[in-house]
């Protein structure tokens, strides 16, 4: 596979302000869907604006399909980059029909070719019989599909999606996210999306970059972000979990209140070192036969499962996801045991070393 998008050491700041993007680097392969995930104000949307040409970068460089399109002092005009944009507010023209909205960027085609392309995309977004309707006649999900088709119409090399589902309810967001992924994969279109919703990112993207304060903390698969986070920020932002105290007591063991754990394979730890170990809710199993017990401090019913907050003997609280037919009362003590496949530990008071980050990536 070859990279459709390459960003190297991108830095950007608005005039007179602090850095919004600080040493951002990533590579997106042809046909891949990527996502920038992070809290509001971390620089996600600004990265998209730099890629599209709406902002001029101050350091680093950006390439599309192997050609450098943006460097300090040199920038290919936005209209020549062949980058499509999908916005959260749809940005459809209310006075144009759905077909005319989709075909708006195809003015270089004759009427027949334009009609053929619009018809193809109406079929792709499953609105083939609605081309003569107007945006106000559509649901939010239908409007977003039209916005997607309009961006895809000129056959862009890369599609950028800025919080594309934020105006939709939870059920529609999940459904449309699956549809959009299927459409992009069916057309083999590369895309980079921005969101603050990790469930949305994991459902749609092949690679996800977790951002904080203008930097990408980790660019990786959803699996590795969850099971092999390279920083406390990623560990806390992705999924649920807690950090418990431990100590490296031998080359291959970490002693904790819940028992010994295997050494963290991707961590730079030394014997005797104090650490904090990441425990996810699925790492702690309910086991009535276990000698290890914890008190139910809180419970959240989730249908098939209950998320228990459990208090250990030391007062430390951990999470455990348990099938909901195990319905225990607050204050009750239940047996638990650890079943952890991916041990992740951070030196107490420190982030994981850069060497460990590189090894994990």
The whole-number pLDDT of residue 359 equals: 34
pLDDT digits (tens, 9 = 90+) for 165-206: 888 888 888 888 999 999 999 999 999 999 999 999 999 999
Q: What pLDDT, in 10s, does the model give residues 5-33?
A: 999 999 999 998 899 999 999 999 999 99
Q: What pLDDT does 1 receive?
A: 59
What letter does residue 282 receive in the DSSP assignment?
Answer: G
Closest-CA residue to 156 (of 135, 127, 184, 123): 184
Torsion angles phi and psi, residue 297, rounded to 5: -100, -25
> Mind listing the domains of the chain with CATH numbers?
3-232 (3.40.50.300), 240-360 (2.40.50.140)
The β-bridge relationship of strands 3-13 and 59-64 is antiparallel
How confident is residue 267, by pLDDT bands cut at 50, 70 and 90? confident
> Which pLDDT score is estimated for 90?
84
Model confidence, pTM: 0.88
Average pLDDT over residues 212-225: 96
**pLDDT band at 352, cuts 50/70/90?**
very low
Q: Report the pLDDT value the prediction gives residue 58, as an integer from 0 to 100.
A: 94
CA–CA separation, 361 and 79 (whole Å):
35
In sequence order, the 6+-apart residues with CB closer than 8 A to the CB of 193 are 33, 34, 35, 36, 160, 161, 162, 164, 201, 204, 205
pLDDT of residue 262: 86
The closest alpha carbon to 169, from 145, 193, 140, 149, belongs to 140
Residue 69 pLDDT more than 50?
Answer: yes
Q: What is the mean pLDDT of residues 211-240?
A: 94
Share the mean pLDDT of the chain: 91
Label residue 350 by pLDDT band (50, 70, 90): low
Q: Is the pLDDT of residue 354 over 60?
A: no
Average pLDDT on 157-170 reads 89
- Asked if 345 and 267 count as a contact pair (C-beta separation under 8 A), the reply is yes
Higher pLDDT, 68 or 352: 68
- 266 pLDDT band (50/70/90 cuts)? confident
Q: Which of 23-37, 141-155, 237-251, 288-302 has the lowest mean pLDDT?
A: 237-251
Predicted confidence at residue 358, as pLDDT, reads 30
| 247 CB burial (10 A radius; 0-12, 13-18, 19+) | middle
d(CA 275, CA 248): 7
């Amino acid at each position: 596979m070859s990279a459709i998008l390459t960003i190297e050491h991108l830095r950007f700041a608005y005039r007179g302000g602090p850095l919004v993007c600080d040493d951002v680097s990533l590579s997106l392969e042809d046909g891949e869907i990527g996502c920038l995930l992070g809290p509001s104000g971390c620089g996600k949307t600004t990265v998209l604006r730099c890629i599209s040409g709406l902002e001029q970068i101050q350091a680093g460089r950006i390439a599309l399909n192997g050609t450098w399109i943006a460097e300090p002092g040199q920038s290919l005009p936005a209209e020549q980059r062949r980058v499509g944009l999908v916005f959260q507010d749809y940005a459809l023209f209310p006075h144009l029909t759905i077909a005319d909205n989709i075909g708006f960027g195809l003015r270089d085609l004759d009427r027949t070719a334009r009609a053929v392309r619009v018809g193809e995309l109406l079929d792709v977004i499953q609105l083939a019989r609605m081309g003569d309707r107007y945006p106000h006649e559509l649901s939010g999900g239908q409007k977003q599909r039209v916005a997607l088709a309009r961006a895809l119409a000129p056959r862009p090399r890369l599609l950028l999606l800025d919080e594309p589902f934020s105006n939709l309810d939870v059920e529609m967001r999940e459904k449309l996210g699956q549809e959009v992924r299927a459409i992009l994969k069916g057309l083999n279109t590369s895309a980079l999306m921005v969101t603050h919703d990790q469930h949305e990112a994991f459902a749609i993207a092949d690679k996800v970059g977790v951002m904080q304060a203008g930097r990408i903390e980790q660019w990786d698969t959803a699996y590795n972000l969850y099971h092999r986070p390279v920083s406390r920020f990623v560990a806390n932002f992705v999924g649920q979990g807690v950090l418990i105290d431990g100590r490296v007591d031998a080359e291959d063991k970490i002693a904790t209140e819940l028992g010994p754990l295997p050494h963290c394979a991707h961590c730079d730890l030394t014997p005797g070192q104090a650490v904090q170990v990441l425990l996810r809710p699925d790492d702690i199993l309910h086991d009535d036969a276990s000698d290890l017990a914890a008190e139910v401090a809180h419970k959240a019913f989730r249908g098939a499962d209950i998320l228990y907050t459990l208090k250990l003997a030391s007062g430390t609280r951990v999470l455990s996801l348990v099938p909901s037919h195990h319905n225990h009362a607050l204050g009750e003590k239940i047996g638990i045991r650890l079943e952890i496949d991916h041990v992740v530990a951070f030196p107490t008071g420190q982030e994981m070393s850069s060497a460990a980050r590189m090894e994990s990536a």
